[in-house]
Chains A and B, each alone.
Chain A
Amino acid sequence: MAPVLAFWLVLCLSGTWAVDRGNFKTCDQSAFCKRQRALKPGESPYRALLETMELTNTRLTLQLINDNNKVRLLLELYRLQGNITRVKINELKPLKPRYEVPDVLIREPPTEPLSLLSQDDNGVVLSLGAESQRVIVSARPFRLDIMEGRDVLMSLNSRGLLAFEHLRMRKDTQADPEAEKKEEGDPENQAETGKEEEEKVEDGMWEETFKSHSDSKPHGPSAISLDFSLPGVEHVYGIPEHADTLRLKTTDNGDPYRLYNLDVFQYELYNPMALYGAVPVMLAHNAKRTTGIFWLNAAETWVDISSNTAGKTVFGKMLDYVQGSSETPQTDVRWISESGIIDVFIMLGPTPKDVFSQYASLTGTQAFPPLAALAYHQCRWNYNDQEDVQSVDAGFDEHDIPYDFIWLDIEHTDGKRYFTWDPHKFATPKEMLQGIMDKKRKMVAIVDPHIKVDSNYKIHNEIRSRGFYIKNKDGGDYEGWCWPGSAGYPDFTRPDMRAWWASMFAYDQYEGSMENLYTWNDMNEPSVFNGPEVTMHKDATHGAWEHRDVHNLYGLYVQMATADGQIQRSGGVERPFVLTRAFFAGSQRYGAVWTGDNAAEWDHLKISIPMCLSLGLVGISFCGADVGGFFKSPSTELLVRWYQTGAYQPFFRAHAHLDTPRREPWLFGPENTALIRDAVRQRYTLLPYWYQQFYLAYHTGQPVMRPLWVEYPQDPATFALDDEFLIGRDLLVHPVTEEGARGVTAYLPGKDEVWFDVNTFQKHNGAQNLYIPVTMSSIPVFQRGGSIIPRKLRVRRSSSCMEHDPYTLYVALNPQRTAEGEIYIDDGHTFNYEKQEFIHRRLMFANNVLSSVNLNPEARFTTRSWIERVVILGASKPSKVTLKTAGESKFSRQTADRKKPFLNLVVLVRRLL
């Protein structure tokens, strides 16, 4: 093997396995964050000019004035359909337009009427329509309170941290760039500013350096900030991506949570540092209500969280309660962004599901993936050549382990020129793809957005000649260093660039591609090895906008264009599958994400749960972590446990770093091969359920992988759980994530619920902590009593091979001896479901009768599948079983295993569906 890429070495030689924190900014090192965070609460200079208020049927506008500098802002307030309030604040007359994030909202959100309830000198009260909700606009200082009845749901600028750095002319005319850094009260400047209070010129307003990188900031300071108070709230979630607990922590004693898409080498766990993706959405929850804040801004953003109960012990809280002296618990959050405008959507719930629907109504739902994408993916940096691919493929058959996708990382290309193949190692890609297709399997090849600067490379030449590259501050094509060496970065914010990019996926453009070749977008933060914080210079330009304005949006656009390309190549027939590392609000519409370059450590296995749960809460359901861990080599025990965990997470892909030893599932002895095989097979048996959950996510925006509190919002015991989770609402998973574990303690929620161990069928009561002894083969999973889950028990070598196989229904009875579930079936890969070509039935068990109804009478689809077996958990042996179907009536059989407390009722039906 050739020596490791020189630059990689330079990057990596820091040596230890922890992130090099020095490569990334703290709030103090980010000038705007430092400036904004220095503001003290309670001194808001903003006043609402009530006389400027205009109220139409759909919106209220109002001017705000900063009494310190007399700069006016324009506030817009909308009532949106579905219990959402939108607040926009921009400069009334900015020097030049400020960036408003496009392409994230799926449409201009439909509004509902606002009405004026009362008005006086101090403020205005507006009705928000539903449920006696009102918004109170206070004038001095400006403040918004959203009320329901007598309860304040949320207050804006209640701490007076609204800040809006208006665009301004540079005063020193750049004669002496050092001058402005020296002091804050230059007398000459003071003289010029006239009647307005002196604008402080602070460090980093017009230029900022970090390490060796300089940010020229030609437009000067432009940060924005706003605080939100959440009375009664002690739990807030969301704002991924961070390697942290599900429940967000207060940030008083450290840095705020940072949202700035970065390629972080060997990231550290349990801290608020930025990672690859950013979704500026936070959920707030208490036993009575769930609300959400969507801060639509794509610039670098920091989020501070503080709480008046943080640090108080349970005893302290009790004391407060008993003495009646307590203030209500309250969480205060504060958002700070470097540029753009304040555009915030306040989602008022009241239930978690309502918030999911509200957010989905704004940014769309999870793309409905091809069924195969929910199966198992085998990846490695790198499968070396076609022979290697073939032998790995054969290895799965030899060891009877199913898989659907094999992945090729960057080494498959001709010198890191994406859309090409290494002429020696992958000389005949179509032959290879055909071989995979013959097994009804698929492949993913990586296509990164950095484009090798090479005049013999078609993609580069076209992008350059069309002027599609991002420009540097001097107007030339921006060049950075990445895998291929010197690379350009296409400006994916341009629709014409995206259209061109999409066209590159056409079969006649992407040579060697076939319909079973899908795509992986990595490094799309974008990663620039020699850039500030390993990303792009903020003063690079995307047409009229600076990179600083659009940074967090770049990765979304890359995936969008790639997914479009995949749709177009099939004439709009086939669903795309694109994996991305960088993401933003709305990325759920384009495919899957993974948690980036994790490590083969137990803590990384553990953190995969809260990381994916947090993503699910903000719409991105198709999430997974590299099974086995990317960096380093896992112990066999860790690898097995990771397969067991990954088998129950939405995106299930094993991946490994180039420098690690091979770890295909059969390389660790027959015993471990069997354990991994079993975990993967469990995934395959449950594919019908996963598919149905993704259909639901696509339809409603409900997360597939859910924290327990989403289903048990009134049970505080669930609020901080992040070592277990639900898939849909019916499967509870508490994977083993401790080394050498002999048992796990799972919390089974629901006072009136029962849960069935899916392996032993043993019944357990809800609302208890259950200790479950475990062995290496254990994956503690429980099915909720009252649910019906379809499985396919005939596991074959790929999901496509199982298409026509029959279902087994697992009917788990609740204490009322009823159960309910759904089954969804379509062709598994086209958009024909949009044309009602699917089967979607509700399954019900009540009064000892299992029946089904069509949930969509218009839908037409025929399947060769049937229900071969019904397993009823929690029933006693019946004396007789009969079967009725509308048309055909086949025979039924019944068997009961007396050793187990359940009835295995067998129904053999050729065509029930």
Chain B
Amino acid sequence: KMYCPYLLLLLSLGVSAVEVQRPRGVPLSKRQFYEEGKPFTCLDGSRTIPFDRVNDDYCDCQDGSDEPGTAACPNGSFHCTNAGFRPAFIPSSRINDGICDCCDTTDEYNSGAACQNTCRELGRKERESLQKMAEIAKEGFMLKQQLIQEAKRGLEEKKGKLAEVQTSKKDLEDKVEALRSVKEAAEQPEKEAKERHLKAWEGNFKCEDISPSTVCFNVSVAELLLHSELDQDSDGTFTETEAQGLLGGVDKVDTVAFEAVWSNIKDKYISEAKADTTAPVETPQEETRESVSDTDSEQYPEDDIPEDEEEEDEDDEDEDPDDGEYKVTSLSFSIRLVLDGPGKDDEDEGTMPPYDQETQNLIDSKYMYKTENIEKEISFDFGPSAEFGYLYNQCYELTTSEYIYRLCPFSRVSQKPKYGGSETSLGTWGKWAGPDDNVYSVMKYEHGTGCWQGPNRSTTVKLTCGKETVVTSTSEPSRCEYLMEFTTPAVCQEPPSLDSMHPDHEEL
């Protein structure tokens, strides 16, 4: 029954407890609108009421501004000073609801809730954690600078390489064009013989039957004749008969047969390019032996990046532009690819050599691969300063009680049962998906393995600043929608100086 006077008493006590005189719940910045004794105008200007209706536990203003210290207005807010910590606004519905929201306990002035003032403790903890975070941020930010530098260098290199590759491609195209003319000329006299031979072969194999990308080639006597170094008796004239002899007594051999031939001639064979002749040539068989690793790289084009340290050292050397043989090897390299491209299992099939356009296409596509790979890498959005570039081609794992999770940034996320079982894709690289003001804080991986009656698996990766690059946690908040937390220096922001970290200290 004494509720009302009690409340008033508390009100006055409450007000006097705050250093600066103002109605309960009013932030310092709005003090001037609440002038004791003068009529109060709602902050939206909608109404003016006597001052004794401010904080009288009845809502008069549409905007709730007359009740900053009570729960009377549904849309009001209450300001806690929280001396020792950060000031805060809480919805006025949390005033006197029995739950301590303000660390200075000021929101629970009449609920009987036993709130403890925890502001100092919170402030201390926050400062500690801020300090810790600042340290991490500081170191992380330094690391980030390094990453940015490295990325810059890497990018330049790549761009240079891209240009080079493009140039050499152009050279090669010219060369191929020249070769083609020569070849066509050389082939002309052989045409009839070829056709005869073709008929003989047609019973068994048909080049056209094989997929268009399959490389078919024959080596003919005419072609061999262009290699005088293969002259059997070294008499200076490499005769047709001699050449025929090399080919085992026929005019023309297919890939398989040529292998046997090759072992006989390889010691003498001089690459056309090296010989600095414009003589037309078919592929040196030797190169096919080296092709295994390259076949792999066809399946995983990303791996075919010159920067890739371990696997591709050889290629790096091969492609070293300072090497005088660069062009040669490049050419063989590209033709080699032609040979053992998609059709490497078909090597033993005798076929016609659809050299011209198809070979050209394959050369092109190989260069496309190379240029595409570089272009693709360059095209990734590695952040404003390419600071995320170092994550490219890397993978990070986290092992939980049941699964091993693997995050390969800009590529894919997967999950594998710890104790056997197949890997499940949790998504492939989709996009940066942070909020507009911080797009590079979240990565989205999409279109993973489908779920039964559900969506395809997808993963959201939240990036936080850390010295280490590491996956710190994974979870599945919703079925088949994974959440991964990942620390990296690349998201570290320049730490503000500690002085500017407490802009709100004004109310201390």
CB <8 Å contact, B476 and A796: no
Known: A9-B452, A440-B98. A659 touches B58 (CB 8 A): no
CB <8 Å contact, B93 and A868: no
Contact indicator per residue, chain A 884-913, by CB within 8 Å of chain B (1) or not (0): 000110100100000000000010101100
CB <8 Å contact, A1 and B74: no
- Which of B153-161, B477-485, B489-497 touches A? B477-485
A890-B99 Cα distance, complex, nearest whole Å = 29
Closest to A397 in B: B94
A438-B454 Cα distance, complex, nearest whole Å = 36
CB <8 Å contact, B93 and A795: yes
Contacts of B452 in A (CB 8 A): 4, 9, 12, 659
Q: Which of B93, B475, B481 contacts A797 (CB 8 A)?
A: B93
A890-B58 Cα distance, complex, nearest whole Å = 13
Q: Does A794 interact with chain B (Cβ within 8 Å)?
A: yes
Known: A400-B91, A890-B4. A659 touches B454 (CB 8 A): yes
Q: Which of A388, A424, A659, A800 contacts B453 (CB 8 A)?
A: A659
CB <8 Å contact, B1 and A888: yes
Contacts of A796 in B (CB 8 A): 71, 93-94, 97
Closest to A802 in B: B97
Q: Does B402 interact with chain A (Cβ within 8 Å)?
A: yes
Q: Which of B1, B3, B479 contacts A1 (CB 8 A)?
A: B479
8 Å CB contacts to B: which residues of A645-688?
658-662
CB <8 Å contact, A659 and B97: no
A388-B477 Cα distance, complex, nearest whole Å = 8
Q: Does B10 interact with chain A (Cβ within 8 Å)?
A: no
CB <8 Å contact, B454 and A660: yes
A123-B478 Cα distance, complex, nearest whole Å = 70
Contacts of B477 in A (CB 8 A): 384, 388, 662
A341-B477 Cα distance, complex, nearest whole Å = 52
Contacts of B3 in A (CB 8 A): 864, 910-911
CB <8 Å contact, B93 and A660: no
Contacts of A4 in B (CB 8 A): 452
CB <8 Å contact, B1 and A794: no
Q: Does A805 interact with chain B (Cβ within 8 Å)?
A: yes
A479-B476 Cα distance, complex, nearest whole Å = 33
A128-B99 Cα distance, complex, nearest whole Å = 60
Closest to B7 in A: A910
Known: A12-B453, A890-B4. A661 touches B98 (CB 8 A): no
CB <8 Å contact, B478 and A794: no
Minimum CB–CB distance from B228 to chain A (whole Å) comes to 69
Q: Does A464 interact with chain B (Cβ within 8 Å)?
A: no
CB <8 Å contact, B97 and A1: no
Contacts of B72 in A (CB 8 A): 794, 868
CB <8 Å contact, B71 and A794: yes
Q: Does B401 interact with chain A (Cβ within 8 Å)?
A: yes
A440-B479 Cα distance, complex, nearest whole Å = 29
Contacts of A9 in B (CB 8 A): 452
Q: Does A767 interact with chain B (Cβ within 8 Å)?
A: no
Closest to B402 in A: A2
Minimum CB–CB distance from A636 to chain B (whole Å) comes to 16
CB <8 Å contact, B99 and A440: yes
A907-B97 Cα distance, complex, nearest whole Å = 23
A902-B271 Cα distance, complex, nearest whole Å = 101
Chain A binding surface SS class: loop
Q: Does B451 interact with chain A (Cβ within 8 Å)?
A: yes
Q: Does B14 interact with chain A (Cβ within 8 Å)?
A: no
Q: Does B455 interact with chain A (Cβ within 8 Å)?
A: yes
Closest to A3 in B: B452
Contact indicator per residue, chain B 86-100, by CB within 8 Å of chain A (1) or not (0): 000001011001110
8 Å CB contacts to B: which residues of A605-661?
658-661
Q: Does A125 interact with chain B (Cβ within 8 Å)?
A: no
CB <8 Å contact, A908 and B58: yes
Contacts of B402 in A (CB 8 A): 2
A439-B98 Cα distance, complex, nearest whole Å = 8
Contacts of B453 in A (CB 8 A): 12, 659
Known: A388-B477, A801-B99. A910 touches B4 (CB 8 A): yes
Known: A2-B402, A795-B74, A805-B71. A661 touches B94 (CB 8 A): no
Minimum CB–CB distance from B124 to chain A (whole Å) comes to 22
Interface residue count on the A side (C-beta < 8 Å): 37
Q: Does A776 interact with chain B (Cβ within 8 Å)?
A: no
CB <8 Å contact, B74 and A794: yes
Contacts of B481 in A (CB 8 A): 661-662
Contacts of B480 in A (CB 8 A): 1, 659
Minimum CB–CB distance from A341 to chain B (whole Å) comes to 45
Closest to B452 in A: A4
CB <8 Å contact, B58 and A868: yes
Minimum CB–CB distance from B462 to chain A (whole Å) comes to 13
CB <8 Å contact, B58 and A797: no
Closest to B1 in A: A911
8 Å CB contacts to B: which residues of A792-838?
793-797, 800-802, 805
Contacts of B454 in A (CB 8 A): 659-661
Contacts of B57 in A (CB 8 A): 868
8 Å CB contacts to B: which residues of A1-18?
1-2, 4, 9, 12
Name which of B3, B72, B97, B452 has the most chain A CB atoms within 10 A of its CB: B97
Contact indicator per residue, chain B 440-461, by CB within 8 Å of chain A (1) or not (0): 0000000000011111000000
Contacts of A800 in B (CB 8 A): 98
CB <8 Å contact, B99 and A384: no
A659-B451 Cα distance, complex, nearest whole Å = 8
Known: A659-B454, A801-B97. A906 touches B476 (CB 8 A): no
Contacts of B475 in A (CB 8 A): 384, 388
A424-B74 Cα distance, complex, nearest whole Å = 41
Contacts of A888 in B (CB 8 A): 1
Minimum CB–CB distance from B39 to chain A (whole Å) comes to 16
Minimum CB–CB distance from A380 to chain B (whole Å) comes to 9
Closest to A383 in B: B477
A794-B93 Cα distance, complex, nearest whole Å = 7
Contacts of B97 in A (CB 8 A): 440, 796-797, 801-802
Contact indicator per residue, chain B 65-99, by CB within 8 Å of chain A (1) or not (0): 00000011010000000000000000101100111
Contacts of B478 in A (CB 8 A): 660-662
A795-B92 Cα distance, complex, nearest whole Å = 10
CB <8 Å contact, B94 and A797: yes
Closest to A632 in B: B453
A439-B97 Cα distance, complex, nearest whole Å = 9
Minimum CB–CB distance from A803 to chain B (whole Å) comes to 8
Closest to B92 in A: A794
Name which of A12, A424, A661, A800 has the most chain B CB atoms within 10 A of its CB: A661
8 Å CB contacts to A: which residues of B1-59?
1, 3-4, 57-58
A668-B94 Cα distance, complex, nearest whole Å = 25
Closest to B75 in A: A400
A888-B480 Cα distance, complex, nearest whole Å = 62
Minimum CB–CB distance from A909 to chain B (whole Å) comes to 10
Minimum CB–CB distance from B454 to chain A (whole Å) comes to 4
Minimum CB–CB distance from A906 to chain B (whole Å) comes to 7
A259-B454 Cα distance, complex, nearest whole Å = 33
Contacts of A439 in B (CB 8 A): 99
Name which of B3, B93, B478 has the most chain A CB atoms within 10 A of its CB: B478
Closest to B457 in A: A1
8 Å CB contacts to A: which residues of B391-410?
401-402
A506-B74 Cα distance, complex, nearest whole Å = 40
CB <8 Å contact, B479 and A661: yes
Closest 3 CB pairs of A and B: A801-B97, A662-B478, A659-B454
Since A794-B71, A805-B71 are in contact, a sample of 6 more A-B pairs with Cβ atoms closer than 8 Å, ordered by chain A residue number, is A12-B452, A384-B476, A659-B451, A661-B454, A661-B478, A796-B71
Binding site for B on A (CB under 8 A): 1-2, 4, 9, 12, 384, 388, 400, 424, 438-440, 658-662, 793-797, 800-802, 805, 864, 868-869, 887-888, 890, 893, 906, 908, 910-911
The 18 listed contacts between A and B (C-beta, < 8 Å) are: A1-B476, A4-B452, A384-B477, A400-B93, A440-B99, A658-B479, A659-B451, A660-B454, A661-B454, A662-B478, A794-B72, A797-B93, A797-B97, A797-B99, A800-B98, A888-B1, A908-B58, A911-B3
